[in-house]
Structure 1
Amino acid sequence: MATPIEFIKANELDWQPSLNAKLSNGLYGYRGALIIEPGKQISADRKLPPKIQARQVIMMTTDDSIKFLTCELESFNDFKPMFEKYKQFFVPDSMNLLYVTDLEANGTFEYEGVKFTAYMLDESSVWNELLDLASLEKSDMKSLKQPEEKIEKLYEELLTCNVEDTPRTYEEMCSFIGESSKQLMGAV
């Protein structure tokens, strides 16, 4: 069986990666976006951007599973197709944090034996939300030079935090789907 990263590469599911490297803690790290539903192939060498993607992904994997995944989903409706696409790599003891722009409430739910915590995301970035959740300051990260060190430190801090929210069912989470509240930030 392929590793999660080999699966992503073989199926051309990575999108604009900024990090794709082995980490010092024996895990493999990825930052970028992951394709959930690819864009239309318009010629032999051109494809439209993905129809659905998980953005701002920070992922740490072992040889056979996802140990940590966090990302932005434009809609909670994108969760199920994302889970189906990467389902073979999700395990019960992983940490999975979703930041969703059209949710009107936070919650921790279980889906096919795997726990996910979904948070509302309006104006911030996943990175900033994670720093807040881990009680880290940006200055704590500036002393670290390599991107690998930064995601390792963030992950280590998150392991010491309670990242869960109100227990809910998947169906309850679906009932909290509303309008996207994310404010698009352009050039200032």
Structure 2
Amino acid sequence: MSNFLENIQAQNLTWQVSICEKAESSDTLVYRGDLILQEGKLTIHGTRGTPEAVIKQVVLTAKGEKIEFFAGHLQKLESISLFCEKYLAQCAAGIPLFFFVENIKEKLVVEIEGHLAYLYPLVEGVVWNEFNEMLGLEKGDFKGLGAGDKVVKVADESKTLKPKNVKVSLEEALARTVVVHKELRGAI
């Protein structure tokens, strides 16, 4: 029997992976990296180009074929529909989903097929750091843990989170999106 990580690797849905393995001290599967939402176009050589859409900085745990904890970064809230098409059926029943989204200005929560999806504005930042800050976790809380066990700790701690996000329908959340202006950085 295959598991979630084997499935996404077999389908070439992983991108910019930093960890994709079993946790050190349990059978929990852990993943940190990007997940492809929409594949790239086929090149003339028969390979896939850069993905058209990804959910970035994903932090997840899974047991068997089901996702047990999920957090990730969306550039546009509109891409949540692509996430639902590709991954929602692979989520354990009723688990909360945490999305950090560039084009929203307020903390929202929407219900999607029995899951509460918590939406947090994030134009710049790192999901891992933002989520740990929300949980009140610091560097010392991870002392002595391997990379996989750190993800498991975050997933376990997320169960104590009591978000106070404003509940709206997905349609209303989509209507509240904003245009994001980013500063250009780099060499002058």
Q: Same fold (TM over 0.5)?
A: yes
Paired amino acid for 1:112: E
Query: Which residue in 2 is equivalent to 1:133?
Result: 134
When the two chains are superposed, the root-mean-square deviation of aligned CA atoms in Å is 2.1
Gaps spanning 5+ residues in structure 1: where?
A: none
The farther-off stretch of 120-129 and 2-11 is 2-11
Measure how far apart 1:41 and its partner are.
Answer: 1.8
Cα distance between partner residues in 1 of 2:184 and 2:122: 12
- CA deviation vs aligned residue, 1:38-94 (integer Å, no higher than 9, x gap): 111214364321110000011111113111111100100100011101132123331
Query: Which residue in 2 is equivalent to 1:157?
Result: 157
- Aligned ranges for residues 47-86 of structure 1 at < 5 Å? 47-86=48-87
Query: Which residue in 1 is equivalent to 2:88?
Result: 87
TM-aligned CA distance change 1:22 to 1:135, over 3 Å: same
Check the 8 A contact 2:110/2:168 in 1, yes or no. Answer: yes
Paired amino acid for 2:174: C
Query: Which residue in 2 is equivalent to 1:18?
Result: 18
Check the 8 A contact 1:123/1:183 in 2, yes or no. Answer: no
Check the 8 A contact 1:108/1:117 in 2, yes or no. Answer: yes
TM-aligned CA distance change 1:183 to 1:34, over 3 Å: farther
Cα distance between partner residues in 2 of 1:148 and 1:137: 17
Check the 8 A contact 1:107/1:173 in 2, yes or no. Answer: yes
- TM-score normalised over the length of structure 2: 0.88
TM-aligned CA distance change 1:184 to 1:20, over 3 Å: farther
Query: Which residue in 2 is equivalent to 1:146?
Result: 146
Query: Identity of paired residues, percent?
Result: 27
- CA deviation vs aligned residue, 1:20-46 (integer Å, no higher than 9, x gap): 111234321011100000111214364
Cα distance between partner residues in 2 of 1:13 and 1:185: 30
Check the 8 A contact 1:74/1:180 in 2, yes or no. Answer: no
Cα distance between partner residues in 1 of 2:95 and 2:4: 14
